[in-house]
Chains A and B, each alone.
Chain A
Amino acid sequence: MSSPTQALFANRWLPVLLVTPLALLIVIFFYVPIFQAFYWSFFLERPFGGGSIFVGWANFARVLSDPQFWEAGKRTVIFMVIGSSLAVLVPLILAVAADRQLRLSQPARNVLVWPKGVAGASIGVIFAFIFNPFVGILSPLNQWFPGIWAPGIDGTDAFIMLIAAHVWSGIPFNFVILLAGLQSLPRTMHQAAAMDGAGAWRRIFDVQLPLIMPQVFLTLVLEFTESVTSAFALVDTMTKGGPGGSTNLLVYKIYVDGFNGYDLSGAATQTAILMVFVVLLTGAQFAFLGRRINYER
C-alpha cells in the first residue's frame, strides 16, 4: 500500500515541506487556542488579564452542575441527531434519484451542488427571510391560522427553521459523495438483480444501499461532528440563540458567554468539554458503526 505514495516524491523532505504551511496554520489557529482553552479552564481569568486565580476543577464542577449547560448540550444532541440524519437522508434520496437517469437528473446534478458555495451566515440570512412569518413561504399559514408559525417567539418553530437551513446547507457535499458512490457501482449488479426479478425499490434497498455504506458512513461521521460547530453561523444570523434560549446550542452559548459576557473561564471550560465530547463521539462512531461496514467489494 505504501510504496506507490513513496514513489511520488523523489526527495524525502519534499512532502514535509509541502505539508508545513498547512500544519503551521493548524497549529496556530487550532492547537494553540485549544491548549489555551484547556489551560484557562483551570483558572478564573479576568477579561483584560492580570490576577488569574488557579481554581483546579472548580470551573468544571460549576459548568457540569449548571442546568443551562445541560440544556444547551441536550439541544446540541437533538440538533445533531435530527439535523445530521436529515442532512444525509435528503441528499441520499436525491442522489438515488439522480443516479436513476430520471428526466432532468443531469441538470439536477449540477444545480444541487451550488449551495456548497454559499457561506453559512448567508444561508442564515436567506432562510430567516424565507421563513419570515409575514412575507415568507409559510406566511399563508398564518393567514389561515393566525400565530401558528412564529419563529420569533415560539422556540419549536425557531428550532425547525434552524434544522431546515442546516439540512439545506448539507445537501451539496453529501450529495456529491453519495452520488459518486452510486455511480461507482458496476452496472452488472443492477442487471443481475433485474434479471432475478428485483424491482427498482428492491434494487435500491438490497443492492445499492448496502454497497454505498462506506459513503453513507463517511457523510454521517462528517455531519455528526460538523453539526456540533457549523451551526454557529446559522444560529448567529437567524435566532441569536432565542427565543427564550430555545436555539442556544452549546457552540453558540460558548461564544456568548465568552465574548459577550466576558466569562473567559466558563467559555474555556465548556470548550474543553465540547472538544472531549466530539472526540469521544467520533471514536464511538468508528468503534460501533465503522466495524459493521464492509469496505471490500
Chain B
Amino acid sequence: MKMFTLAATTAALMAGAGAAQATDFEFWYGNTGSVETAILAQCDAFNASQSQDKVTCVGQGSYEVSMQKAIAAYRSGNAPVLIQFFDAGTLDLMLSDAVVPVQEILPDVDWANYIDGARAYYETSDGRLFSQPYNASTLLFYTNKTQLAEAGITETPKTWEEIKAAAEKLKAAGHACPFVTDGDTWRVLEQFSARHGLPIASNHNGYDGLDAEYVLNTTFVVQHLTNLVEWRKEGLVRLGVDTKAGKYADAFNAGECAMMEGSSGSYAASAKAFEGKYEVSVDMAPMYEGYERHNTLVGGASIYVMKGHEDAEVAAAKGFLDFLRRPEQQMAFTAATGYVPVTKDVLGAIEASGEADAAKYATAAIGIESMNQPRTEDSRGVRLGFYVQFREVFMEETQKAWNGEPTMQAALDNAKKRGDELLRRFEQTYQGVKLP
C-alpha cells in the first residue's frame, strides 16, 4: 500500500511538473567552500522564486576542471547553457566561437549599470559585454590590527615604504611573519601593474590585437618583486610555503602573519577566523610613493552563455541571469562571501539599507572605490592568449628567483620569452580571427 501511495504521488508530481512545461538547464561553477554554499543558495532561491524553469547548479571543484569538462562537453554537444569562468580565460572564451555575447542575447538590460572596472575587463572593443560579471573581486590590503597595535603601529600602512617600516617594527617586536604573500601572478603582477599604471604586455595588454608582446620585464614590477625577495631574506616577508599554515591566507587568518594582500573574496573567511581574537582591517592595496594610484582589476569570475542550445533553455537561462543581477541577490551574495557587487544600483541599495558600515559589506565600498580609481589604457584588463598558461609560467620562473637563483630580472626575462612564444602560438592557432 505504501509503495502504491509513493508511486501515485510521484506520478502526480511528475504530471504537475509536465503541465508547467518546466525547462531544466544547467549552470556549471568552480568555487568551493563558503562561496559554493552561497551559489547553491542562489540556485535554490531562483527555483523557489518561480515554478516554470529549473536550474541545476553543478559544482566542478575548480575553474580549471569546470573548463576542461566544458571543452569536452562542447565538443560532444553536451555543454551546459551557463558556465562560470575566471578572469584569465577571457580571451580564450571570446575567440572560442562557443559562447554568445551576453549583451547580444539580453539586449534590453541596462548594461551601463555595471561599474566601468567590471565592464572594461569583459567587454568587446565596441563596448558590448561578453559575459555577465558574477563573483567579482579585487585586490585589497589586509592587516591584523591587533598585532600591529601590539607592535606600536597605530596607523595602517598605505604605501610599500610604510609596509616595510611596519614590518621592521613587527620583526623588532618578535613577530616571525610580518607580511605574507604567495607571489601569485594575479596579486603581484596583474593587480600591481594595473594600479601603478604599468603595462604587462604591448598593445595595451593585448586589447589592440593578437600580436602583443610581454613587457613585464621592463617595468617597475621588476623592482617591486626584487624588493619582496630582498625583504624575505631580511625576515620581513614570508611566502605561504614558509609558514606553518602552508598557505598565505590561512597563515594570515590563523594570526601567524600580520599583513597580506588578498582577494576581497577571502574577507568572509578572515573575519570569521578572527572573531573574538583579532581585529581585521581592509584597505586599498598599497602603492609605492611617487606613483599615482590607478584602478585595480576586477578578478573572480563571470558567467558565459554557451552556444548550441534550444531557445527554451536559453530563455530560462536568461531568467536566471536576470535573477542574479537583482540587487537583493547581489547583496546577499556579497554579505555571504566578501565578493564585491559590481552594479551601481546595488551600491545605492546598500546605502539605503542602512547597513553600509556593517562588517558583511566591509569589502563592497572599498573594493568598488579601488576599481573606480582613474583608468589608463593599460589598466582595463588582460586580454592575452593562453594567459592561464602564462600564469603558470610566471609562477614557475619567479619561484626560482624566490629561492635565490637566478635574479628576479633574469626570471622575468625568461617569463617574457616563454610568454611571447605562447602569444605567437595563440596568434597562429586563431589565424584570421579578429578580436571582437
User: Using a CB–CB distance below 8 Å, which chain A residues touch chain B?
Assistant: 44-51, 53, 62, 66, 68, 132, 134-135, 150, 152-155, 241-245, 248, 256-257, 259-263, 265-266
* Residues of B contacting A47 in the complex (Cβ-Cβ under 8 angstroms): 71, 92, 96
Q: Known contacts A242-B399, A262-B67; can you find 13 more A-B pairs with CB under 8 A?
A: A46-B97, A47-B96, A48-B71, A48-B74, A48-B96, A51-B97, A53-B428, A53-B429, A241-B396, A242-B396, A243-B403, A261-B386, A263-B389
**Closest CB-CB distance, A35 to chain B, in whole Å?**
16
Q: A47-B92, A244-B397 are in contact. Are A134 and B244 (CB under 8 A)?
A: yes
Across the interface, A48 reaches (CB within 8 A) one of B75, B239, B240, B241, namely: B75
Partner of A261, one of B240, B392, B399, B400: B392
CB-CB under 8 A from A135, the residues of chain B are 244
Binding site for A on B (CB under 8 A): 64, 67-68, 71, 74-75, 92, 95-98, 239-242, 244, 246, 386, 388-389, 392, 395-397, 399-400, 402-403, 418, 421-422, 425, 428-431, 433
The answer to whether A152 and B246 touch (CB under 8 A), given A46-B429, A49-B75, is yes
Specify which of B246, B388, B399, B421 is in contact with A243 (CB 8 Å cutoff): B399
CB distance from A127 to the nearest CB of B (A): 14
A265 to B392, CA, bound (A): 18
- B388: contacting residue among A44, A50, A152, A262, CB under 8 A: A262
A261 to B431, Cβ gap below 8 A? Answer: no
A260 touching B389, Cβ below 8 Å: yes
- Our pick among A48, A66, A152, A259 for the contact of B98 (Cβ within 8 Å) is A48
Q: List 6 A-B contacts (CB under 8 A).
A: A44-B425, A46-B97, A134-B244, A244-B397, A244-B399, A257-B389
- List of 3 A-B pairs having minimum Cβ-Cβ separation, nearest first: A152-B241, A261-B389, A244-B400
Shortest distance from the beta carbon of B395 to any chain A beta carbon, whole Å: 7
When chains A and B are docked, how far (Å) is the Cα of A271 from the Cα of B403? 31
Assess the B241–A260 pair: CB atoms within 8 A.
no
Task: Decide if A262 touches B389 in the complex (CB within 8 Å).
Answer: yes
Known contacts A47-B92, A243-B399, A244-B403; A263 and B431 CB within 8 A of each other: no
Taking CB atoms, residues of chain B closer than 8 Å to A242 are 395-396, 399
Q: Please indicate the chain A residues that have their CB under 8 angstroms from the CB of B71 in the complex.
A: 47-48, 262
B417 to chain A, nearest CB (A): 10
Given contacts A44-B428, A53-B429, contact A259 B399 (CB under 8 A): no
- On chain A, the residues within 8 Å of B433 by CB distance are 51
Q: Whole-angstrom distance from the CB of A257 to the nearest CB of chain B?
A: 7
Contacts of A248 in B (CB 8 A): 396
CA of A262 to CA of B70 in the docked complex: distance in angstroms? 12
| Complex partner residue of B74 from A49, A132, A260, A263, CB under 8 angstroms | A49
Chain A neighbourhood of B240, CB < 8 A: 152
Interchain nearest-CB distance for B394 vs A (Å): 11
Give A51 Cβ to nearest chain B Cβ, in Å: 8
| Known contacts A53-B429, A243-B403; A132 and B246 CB within 8 A of each other | yes
